[in-house]
């Protein structure tokens, strides 16, 4: 059985590391490269780095940042932000990232996922879906551009499409729980799990190691990602890069090693 991965999710805004709440009000928490150096020391499983400006500004991925991250990273990392073409993906992988993430581009043109998979390997293709509850009826909708736009495709229809195409991983991000640290929306993640067998990473809402432990227990082989949990400490949310110790991780993974 594959071991679950605990993945810090780093958001890059104006070249700095930030944390948001409901995808709004980015708070500066430090330099991305310095954060990576600290996570190296803590021997994290994997990193996810998302440039939240690229799609909004309609620009290419920040290849200089990717190169600098790759030089420092001693763990696998996934990069997303502005990826629209096969060439973008190939360059990101060539610079040292293990995975490349797409969101709005995949929603607009799912077939790009197949082309990128053929170019860099399906295992390196990650789809990020940002999901929030509709104000009426409690159903869910896909959003893009930092939750400023509604996607034209329905969630279940999109899941069916990427099932057909095949990708390495699906990152499910709960917009309503982003940055709140009040626990995961397992009903949302259960809904997604019902409609796809693609390896799934969940993000949005983790406030404690117990939340991560519950996620691992529910989904077994899964990536569990968090932002605020790994950059803030205490009820006053003081900025402090942190990560579970080796002993804590043994319990969270629920494996003997």
Residue 25 has pLDDT above 60, yes or no: yes
State the residue range of the domain holding 138. Answer: 5-253
Task: Tell me the C-alpha distance between 56 and 33, whole Å.
Answer: 23
Expressed in percent and rounded to 5, the helix, strand and coil fractions of the chain are 35, 25, 35
For CA atoms 80, 69, 96, 62, the dihedral sign is positive
- The predicted structure's pLDDT at residue 253: 83
- The predicted structure's pLDDT at residue 256: 45
Element (H, E) at 192: helix 186-195
> Is residue 28 within 8 Å of 64, Cβ to Cβ?
no
Task: Tell me the C-alpha distance between 231 and 84, whole Å.
Answer: 29
Residue 136 has pLDDT above 50, yes or no: yes
Helix 209-219 with 186-195: angle, nearest 10 deg: 30
Give Cα 165 distance to the centre of its chain: 20
> Is residue 187 within 8 Å of 159, Cβ to Cβ?
no
Which tens digit of pLDDT belongs to each residue from 147-161? 999 998 999 999 999
Query: Is 130 a known active-site residue?
Result: yes
Share above pLDDT 90 across residues of the chain, in percent, rounded to a whole number: 87
* Beta bridge pairs of residue 127: 102, 170
Q: What is the CATH number of the domain that holds 109?
A: 3.20.20.70
Report the pLDDT averaged over residues 141-151: 94
Which of these is catalytic: 130, 177, 178, 211? 130
Element (H, E) at 32: helix 32-41
Q: What is the pTM of this model?
A: 0.95
- The predicted structure's pLDDT at residue 257: 38
Which tens digit of pLDDT belongs to each residue from 79-97? 999 999 999 999 999 999 9
Angle CA 133–201–251, to nearest 5: 120
Which tens digit of pLDDT belongs to each residue from 30-40? 999 999 999 99
- Domain count of the fold of the chain: 1
């Amino acid at each position: 059985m594959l071991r679950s991965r605990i993945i810090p999710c780093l958001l890059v805004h104006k070249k700095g590391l930030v944390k948001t709440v409901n995808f709004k009000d980015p708070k500066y928490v430090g330099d991305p490269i310095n954060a990576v150096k600290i996570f190296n020391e803590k021997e994290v499983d994997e990193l996810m780095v998302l440039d939240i400006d690229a799609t909004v500004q309609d620009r290419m991925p920040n290849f200089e940042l990717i190169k600098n991250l790759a030089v420092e990273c001693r763990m696998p990392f996934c990069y997303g932000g502005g990826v629209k073409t096969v060439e973008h993906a190939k360059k990101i992988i060539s610079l040292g990232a293990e995975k490349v993430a797409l969101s709005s581009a995949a929603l607009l043109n799912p077939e790009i996922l197949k082309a990128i998979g053929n170019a860099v390997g399906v295992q390196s293709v990650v789809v990020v879906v940002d999901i929030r509850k509709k104000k009426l009826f409690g159903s869910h909708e896909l959003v893009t551009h930092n939750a400023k736009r509604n996607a034209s495709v329905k969630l279940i229809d999109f899941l069916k499409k990427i099932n057909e195409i095949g990708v390495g991983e699906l990152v499910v991000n709960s917009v309503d729980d982003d940055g709140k640290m009040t626990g995961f929306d397992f009903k949302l993640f259960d809904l997604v799990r019902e409609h796809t067998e693609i390896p799934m990473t969940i993000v949005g809402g983790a406030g404690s190691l117990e939340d991560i432990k519950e996620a691992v227990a529910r989904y077994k082989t899964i990536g569990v990602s968090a932002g605020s949990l790994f950059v803030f400490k205490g009820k006053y949310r003081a900025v402090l890069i942190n990560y579970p110790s080796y002993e804590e991780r043994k319990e969270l993974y629920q494996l003997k090693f």
